[in-house]
Protein backbone atom coordinates (compact mmCIF):
# COMPACT_ATOMS: atom_id res chain seq x y z
CA UNK A 1 0.00 0.00 0.00
CA UNK A 2 2.78 2.38 0.99
CA UNK A 3 4.68 1.42 -2.13
CA UNK A 4 1.63 2.15 -4.33
CA UNK A 5 1.22 5.57 -2.74
CA UNK A 6 4.87 6.33 -3.38
CA UNK A 7 4.55 5.30 -7.02
CA UNK A 8 1.43 7.43 -7.44
CA UNK A 9 3.22 10.41 -5.92
CA UNK A 10 6.18 9.93 -8.29
CA UNK A 11 3.83 9.62 -11.26
CA UNK A 12 1.96 12.77 -10.24
CA UNK A 13 5.27 14.61 -9.93
CA UNK A 14 6.35 13.45 -13.41
CA UNK A 15 3.04 14.58 -14.92
CA UNK A 16 3.35 17.95 -13.18
CA UNK A 17 6.92 18.40 -14.43
CA UNK A 18 5.95 17.45 -17.97
CA UNK A 19 3.03 19.88 -17.89
CA UNK A 20 5.27 22.70 -16.74
CA UNK A 21 8.00 21.88 -19.25
CA UNK A 22 5.66 21.59 -22.23
CA UNK A 23 5.33 24.72 -24.37
CA UNK A 24 2.00 26.49 -24.28
CA UNK A 25 -0.05 25.75 -27.39
CA UNK A 26 -0.82 28.45 -29.95
CA UNK A 27 -4.55 28.01 -29.35
CA UNK A 28 -4.05 28.72 -25.65
CA UNK A 29 -2.31 32.06 -26.24
CA UNK A 30 -4.48 35.14 -25.81
CA UNK A 31 -2.54 37.27 -28.35
CA UNK A 32 -0.90 34.82 -30.77
CA UNK A 33 -0.34 37.46 -33.49
CA UNK A 34 1.55 39.81 -31.19
CA UNK A 35 3.58 36.92 -29.82
CA UNK A 36 4.45 35.69 -33.31
CA UNK A 37 5.45 39.20 -34.40
CA UNK A 38 7.57 39.69 -31.29
CA UNK A 39 9.39 36.38 -31.75
CA UNK A 40 10.15 37.27 -35.36
CA UNK A 41 11.36 40.72 -34.33
CA UNK A 42 13.77 39.17 -31.84
CA UNK A 43 15.27 37.11 -34.67
CA UNK A 44 15.33 40.09 -37.02
CA UNK A 45 17.21 42.27 -34.54
CA UNK A 46 19.55 39.41 -33.65
CA UNK A 47 20.39 39.07 -37.35
CA UNK A 48 20.97 42.84 -37.52
CA UNK A 49 23.42 42.53 -34.61
CA UNK A 50 25.33 39.91 -36.59
CA UNK A 51 25.30 42.05 -39.74
CA UNK A 52 26.66 45.13 -37.95
CA UNK A 53 29.38 43.06 -36.28
CA UNK A 54 30.39 41.38 -39.56
CA UNK A 55 30.51 44.78 -41.31
CA UNK A 56 32.59 46.15 -38.39
CA UNK A 57 29.94 48.79 -37.93
CA UNK A 58 30.43 48.62 -34.15
CA UNK A 59 28.94 52.06 -33.49
CA UNK A 60 25.52 50.70 -34.54
CA UNK A 61 25.57 47.76 -32.12
CA UNK A 62 24.20 49.68 -29.07
CA UNK A 63 21.35 50.84 -31.32
CA UNK A 64 20.58 47.20 -32.14
CA UNK A 65 20.60 46.41 -28.42
CA UNK A 66 18.00 49.11 -27.84
CA UNK A 67 15.83 47.53 -30.55
CA UNK A 68 16.32 44.11 -28.98
CA UNK A 69 14.93 45.41 -25.69
CA UNK A 70 11.97 46.85 -27.63
CA UNK A 71 11.33 43.48 -29.28
CA UNK A 72 11.54 41.87 -25.82
CA UNK A 73 8.96 44.39 -24.57
CA UNK A 74 6.74 43.46 -27.53
CA UNK A 75 6.89 39.83 -26.35
CA UNK A 76 6.01 40.92 -22.80
CA UNK A 77 3.00 42.76 -24.24
CA UNK A 78 2.02 39.65 -26.19
CA UNK A 79 1.97 37.43 -23.10
CA UNK A 80 0.63 39.92 -20.54
CA UNK A 81 -2.68 38.03 -20.18
CA UNK A 82 -1.11 34.57 -19.91
CA UNK A 83 -0.95 32.57 -16.66
CA UNK A 84 1.55 33.87 -14.12
CA UNK A 85 3.74 30.74 -14.12
CA UNK A 86 4.11 30.85 -17.91
CA UNK A 87 4.95 34.56 -17.82
CA UNK A 88 7.53 33.91 -15.10
CA UNK A 89 9.21 31.20 -17.18
CA UNK A 90 9.31 33.43 -20.27
CA UNK A 91 10.55 36.41 -18.27
CA UNK A 92 13.38 34.41 -16.72
CA UNK A 93 14.67 33.21 -20.11
CA UNK A 94 14.01 36.54 -21.81
CA UNK A 95 16.05 38.35 -19.16
CA UNK A 96 18.95 35.98 -19.81
CA UNK A 97 18.71 36.60 -23.58
CA UNK A 98 18.54 40.38 -23.18
CA UNK A 99 21.54 40.24 -20.83
CA UNK A 100 23.48 38.24 -23.43
CA UNK A 101 22.80 40.86 -26.12
CA UNK A 102 23.65 43.66 -23.69
CA UNK A 103 27.05 42.06 -23.17
CA UNK A 104 27.69 42.29 -26.93
CA UNK A 105 26.58 45.92 -26.89
CA UNK A 106 28.93 46.72 -23.98
CA UNK A 107 31.83 44.93 -25.67
CA UNK A 108 31.24 46.79 -28.95
CA UNK A 109 32.31 50.12 -27.40
CA UNK A 110 35.97 49.04 -27.50
CA UNK A 111 35.77 46.44 -30.26
CA UNK A 112 38.11 46.40 -33.22
CA UNK A 113 37.82 42.71 -34.07
CA UNK A 114 34.48 41.06 -34.88
CA UNK A 115 35.70 37.66 -33.59
CA UNK A 116 34.99 37.99 -29.83
CA UNK A 117 31.64 39.67 -30.54
CA UNK A 118 30.63 36.82 -32.84
CA UNK A 119 31.45 34.32 -30.08
CA UNK A 120 29.16 36.24 -27.71
CA UNK A 121 26.52 36.49 -30.43
CA UNK A 122 26.42 32.71 -30.76
CA UNK A 123 25.85 32.47 -26.99
CA UNK A 124 23.11 35.10 -27.19
CA UNK A 125 21.34 33.16 -29.96
CA UNK A 126 21.36 30.07 -27.71
CA UNK A 127 19.77 32.13 -24.93
CA UNK A 128 17.17 33.45 -27.38
CA UNK A 129 16.35 29.95 -28.62
CA UNK A 130 15.64 28.97 -25.00
CA UNK A 131 12.86 31.61 -25.04
CA UNK A 132 11.49 30.23 -28.30
CA UNK A 133 11.38 26.71 -26.82
CA UNK A 134 8.56 27.88 -24.54
CA UNK A 135 6.32 28.57 -27.55
CA UNK A 136 4.70 26.16 -30.02
CA UNK A 137 6.91 25.03 -32.89
CA UNK A 138 4.69 26.65 -35.53
CA UNK A 139 5.16 30.05 -33.88
CA UNK A 140 8.92 29.91 -33.69
CA UNK A 141 10.59 31.97 -36.40
CA UNK A 142 13.06 30.40 -38.77
CA UNK A 143 16.21 32.53 -38.49
CA UNK A 144 17.11 31.67 -42.08
CA UNK A 145 13.87 32.93 -43.58
CA UNK A 146 13.82 36.38 -45.20
CA UNK A 147 11.27 38.88 -43.92
CA UNK A 148 7.93 38.69 -45.73
CA UNK A 149 7.83 40.61 -48.97
CA UNK A 150 11.55 41.38 -48.88
CA UNK A 151 13.89 40.89 -51.81
CA UNK A 152 16.71 39.47 -49.79
CA UNK A 153 20.09 40.25 -51.19
CA UNK A 154 19.09 43.50 -52.87
CA UNK A 155 18.96 44.06 -56.54
CA UNK A 156 20.54 46.76 -58.70
CA UNK B 1 -3.10 104.05 -93.37
CA UNK B 2 0.04 102.82 -91.58
CA UNK B 3 -1.91 102.64 -88.39
CA UNK B 4 -4.55 100.54 -90.04
CA UNK B 5 -1.87 98.10 -91.45
CA UNK B 6 -0.34 97.76 -87.99
CA UNK B 7 -3.67 97.11 -86.42
CA UNK B 8 -4.47 94.51 -89.08
CA UNK B 9 -1.09 92.81 -88.39
CA UNK B 10 -1.79 92.94 -84.69
CA UNK B 11 -5.19 91.42 -85.29
CA UNK B 12 -3.67 88.65 -87.46
CA UNK B 13 -0.94 87.85 -84.90
CA UNK B 14 -3.47 87.98 -82.11
CA UNK B 15 -5.78 85.56 -83.87
CA UNK B 16 -2.85 83.18 -84.48
CA UNK B 17 -1.70 83.43 -80.87
CA UNK B 18 -5.18 82.79 -79.48
CA UNK B 19 -5.37 79.05 -80.30
CA UNK B 20 -1.70 78.60 -79.26
CA UNK B 21 -2.52 80.01 -75.86
CA UNK B 22 -5.33 77.50 -75.50
CA UNK B 23 -3.12 74.67 -76.70
CA UNK B 24 -0.46 75.52 -74.02
CA UNK B 25 -3.13 75.50 -71.33
CA UNK B 26 -4.31 72.08 -72.41
CA UNK B 27 -0.76 70.77 -72.38
CA UNK B 28 -0.22 72.04 -68.87
CA UNK B 29 -3.54 70.54 -67.83
CA UNK B 30 -2.44 67.24 -69.42
CA UNK B 31 0.77 67.23 -67.40
CA UNK B 32 -1.27 67.88 -64.25
CA UNK B 33 -3.33 64.80 -65.05
CA UNK B 34 -0.13 62.77 -65.26
CA UNK B 35 0.69 63.20 -61.58
CA UNK B 36 0.70 59.72 -60.07
CA UNK B 37 0.40 59.11 -56.33
CA UNK B 38 2.33 56.12 -55.04
CA UNK B 39 1.98 54.93 -51.46
CA UNK B 40 4.59 52.63 -50.01
CA UNK B 41 4.82 51.28 -46.46
CA UNK B 42 7.20 49.44 -44.23
CA UNK B 43 5.92 45.93 -43.45
CA UNK B 44 5.15 46.89 -39.87
CA UNK B 45 8.40 46.59 -37.91
CA UNK B 46 9.83 44.09 -40.37
CA UNK B 47 12.55 45.00 -42.84
CA UNK B 48 10.50 45.00 -46.03
CA UNK B 49 8.57 47.40 -48.23
CA UNK B 50 4.93 46.90 -49.09
CA UNK B 51 4.69 46.76 -52.07
CA UNK B 52 8.25 46.04 -53.12
CA UNK B 53 7.54 46.66 -56.82
CA UNK B 54 6.29 49.93 -58.29
CA UNK B 55 5.51 50.86 -61.90
CA UNK B 56 5.06 54.16 -63.69
CA UNK B 57 5.52 55.77 -67.09
CA UNK B 58 8.55 57.84 -67.97
CA UNK B 59 8.07 61.58 -67.60
CA UNK B 60 5.21 61.21 -65.13
CA UNK B 61 5.25 63.40 -62.05
CA UNK B 62 5.41 60.90 -59.18
CA UNK B 63 4.20 61.82 -55.73
CA UNK B 64 5.48 59.25 -53.23
CA UNK B 65 4.15 58.87 -49.70
CA UNK B 66 6.13 56.58 -47.43
CA UNK B 67 4.40 55.34 -44.27
CA UNK B 68 6.43 53.75 -41.46
CA UNK B 69 3.85 51.30 -40.09
CA UNK B 70 6.03 49.94 -37.27
CA UNK B 71 4.57 49.64 -33.76
CA UNK B 72 7.29 48.25 -31.53
CA UNK B 73 10.81 49.14 -32.70
CA UNK B 74 12.38 52.60 -32.73
CA UNK B 75 14.21 51.82 -35.99
CA UNK B 76 14.05 54.64 -38.51
CA UNK B 77 13.22 53.98 -42.16
CA UNK B 78 13.24 55.95 -45.39
CA UNK B 79 12.77 55.32 -49.12
CA UNK B 80 15.59 56.05 -51.55
CA UNK B 81 15.35 55.62 -55.35
CA UNK B 82 18.66 55.35 -57.16
CA UNK B 83 20.07 54.77 -60.62
CA UNK B 84 20.41 51.14 -61.76
CA UNK B 85 23.29 49.22 -60.11
CA UNK B 86 23.94 52.00 -57.59
CA UNK B 87 22.08 50.69 -54.54
CA UNK B 88 25.01 49.02 -52.83
CA UNK B 89 27.37 51.95 -53.43
CA UNK B 90 24.90 54.58 -52.18
CA UNK B 91 24.02 52.39 -49.20
CA UNK B 92 27.68 51.95 -48.34
CA UNK B 93 28.26 55.72 -48.45
CA UNK B 94 25.15 56.37 -46.37
CA UNK B 95 26.57 54.13 -43.61
CA UNK B 96 29.09 56.90 -42.87
CA UNK B 97 26.30 59.40 -42.19
CA UNK B 98 24.05 57.05 -40.21
CA UNK B 99 21.87 56.55 -43.26
CA UNK B 100 21.37 60.20 -44.22
CA UNK B 101 21.35 60.78 -47.98
CA UNK B 102 23.35 63.63 -49.45
CA UNK B 103 21.03 65.94 -51.43
CA UNK B 104 23.82 66.42 -54.00
CA UNK B 105 24.35 62.73 -54.75
CA UNK B 106 23.90 62.37 -58.54
CA UNK B 107 23.15 58.63 -58.16
CA UNK B 108 20.02 59.39 -56.15
CA UNK B 109 16.83 60.15 -58.10
CA UNK B 110 14.52 60.77 -55.15
CA UNK B 111 14.31 60.10 -51.45
CA UNK B 112 12.24 60.80 -48.38
CA UNK B 113 13.81 61.73 -45.03
CA UNK B 114 14.18 59.22 -42.22
CA UNK B 115 11.02 58.76 -40.18
CA UNK B 116 9.95 56.92 -37.04
CA UNK B 117 7.08 54.53 -36.37
CA UNK B 118 3.68 55.83 -37.38
CA UNK B 119 5.08 58.72 -39.42
CA UNK B 120 4.47 59.57 -43.10
CA UNK B 121 6.87 61.44 -45.36
CA UNK B 122 6.51 62.50 -48.99
CA UNK B 123 8.51 63.53 -52.01
CA UNK B 124 7.89 64.12 -55.67
CA UNK B 125 9.97 63.77 -58.79
CA UNK B 126 9.67 63.21 -62.52
CA UNK B 127 9.94 59.54 -63.49
CA UNK B 128 13.29 58.98 -65.25
CA UNK B 129 14.00 57.23 -68.56
CA UNK B 130 12.54 53.73 -68.99
CA UNK B 131 14.32 51.08 -66.96
CA UNK B 132 14.36 49.27 -63.62
CA UNK B 133 15.42 51.44 -60.70
CA UNK B 134 16.20 50.00 -57.27
CA UNK B 135 14.86 51.58 -54.10
CA UNK B 136 15.88 50.80 -50.53
CA UNK B 137 16.00 51.97 -46.93
CA UNK B 138 19.35 53.61 -46.17
CA UNK B 139 19.37 52.96 -42.41
CA UNK B 140 22.64 51.05 -41.99
CA UNK B 141 22.07 47.33 -42.39
CA UNK B 142 18.49 47.58 -43.70
CA UNK B 143 19.02 47.66 -47.48
CA UNK B 144 19.89 43.98 -47.77
CA UNK B 145 16.30 43.09 -46.84
CA UNK B 146 14.42 46.33 -47.28
CA UNK B 147 14.55 47.04 -50.98
CA UNK B 148 12.50 46.88 -54.16
CA UNK B 149 12.28 47.88 -57.80
CA UNK B 150 10.53 50.68 -59.64
CA UNK B 151 9.76 49.75 -63.24
CA UNK B 152 9.66 52.81 -65.47
CA UNK B 153 8.04 52.13 -68.84
CA UNK B 154 7.72 54.07 -72.14
CB contact under 8 A, A154 and B134: yes
Judge whether A52 is closer than 8 Å to chain B, CB to CB: yes
Do B29 and B39 lie in one domain? The reply is: no
Residue A81: pLDDT band with limits 50, 70, 90: very high
Do B88 and B44 lie in one domain? The reply is: yes
pLDDT digits (tens, 9 = 90+) for A88-111: 999 999 999 999 999 999 999 999
Judge whether A24 is closer than 8 Å to chain B, CB to CB: no
Question: In chain A, where are the structural domains located?
Answer: 27-137
Written out in words, the top-level CATH class of the domain with range A27-137 is mainly alpha
pLDDT digits (tens, 9 = 90+) for A31-44: 999 999 999 999 99
Using a CB–CB cut-off of 8 Å, the residues of B that contact A are 43-52, 71-75, 82, 84-88, 91, 95, 132-134, 136, 140-141, 143-149
CB < 8 Å to A147, chain B: 43, 46-48, 145-146
Do B50 and B27 lie in one domain? The reply is: no
pLDDT digits (tens, 9 = 90+) for B70-90: 999 999 999 999 999 999 999
Q: Which domain holds residue B22?
A: 1-33
Mutation site for A-interface testing, chosen from B50, B133, B136, B141 by largest number of A Cβ within 10 Å? B141
Q: What is the predicted pLDDT for the residue at A7?
A: 74
pLDDT digits (tens, 9 = 90+) for B15-66: 444 443 333 333 333 445 589 999 999 999 999 999 999 999 999 999 999 9
Residue of A44, A67, A70 with shortest CB distance to B46: A44
Residues above pLDDT 70, as percent of chain B: 79
Do B28 and B91 lie in one domain? The reply is: no
User: Treating both helix axes as pointing N-terminal to C-terminal, what angle do A84-108 and A61-78 enclose, rounded to 10 degrees?
Assistant: 180
Average pLDDT score, chain B:
85
Could you give the CA distance from residue B137 to residue A51 in angstroms, rounded to a whole number? 15
Question: CB-based contacts of B124: which residues, under 8 Å, 6+ apart?
Answer: B35, B61, B62, B63, B64, B110
The bridge status of strand B77-82 relative to strand B108-115 is antiparallel
Q: What is the predicted pLDDT for the residue at B21?
A: 37
**Mind telling me how many Å the CA of A137 is from chain B's nearest CA?**
21
DSSP state of B137: -
**Mind telling me how many Å the CA of A23 is from chain B's nearest CA?**
25
CB < 8 Å to B46, chain A: 40-41, 44, 147-150
What would the mean pLDDT of A114-122 be, rounded to a whole number? Answer: 97
Do B113 and B89 lie in one domain? The reply is: yes
Do B125 and B144 lie in one domain? The reply is: yes
How many domains does chain B fold into? 2
Residue of B46, B88, B140 with shortest CB distance to A154: B88
Do B53 and B2 lie in one domain? The reply is: no
Do B10 and B83 lie in one domain? The reply is: no
Do B86 and B131 lie in one domain? The reply is: yes
CB < 8 Å to B44, chain A: 37
Instruction: Supply the pTM of this predicted model.
Output: 0.78
Between the alpha carbon of residue A39 and those of residues A146, B32, B116, the distances in Å are 14, 46, 21
Do B40 and B108 lie in one domain? The reply is: yes
Do B24 and B39 lie in one domain? The reply is: no
**Apex CA A54: angle with CA A53 and CA A57, to 5°?**
50
Residue B118: is its pLDDT beyond 60? yes
Do B88 and B113 lie in one domain? The reply is: yes
Judge whether A33 is closer than 8 Å to chain B, CB to CB: no
Amino acid sequence: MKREKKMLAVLALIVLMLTLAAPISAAQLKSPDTVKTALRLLVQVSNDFKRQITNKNFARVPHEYMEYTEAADALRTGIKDEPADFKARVESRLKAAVAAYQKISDMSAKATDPGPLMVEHAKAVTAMNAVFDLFPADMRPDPNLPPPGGRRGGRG
Amino acid sequence: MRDSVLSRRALLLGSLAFPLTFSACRRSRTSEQQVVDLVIESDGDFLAFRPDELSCRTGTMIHVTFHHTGKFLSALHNWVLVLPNQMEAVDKDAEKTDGEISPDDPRVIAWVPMCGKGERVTTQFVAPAPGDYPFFCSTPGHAVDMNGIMHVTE
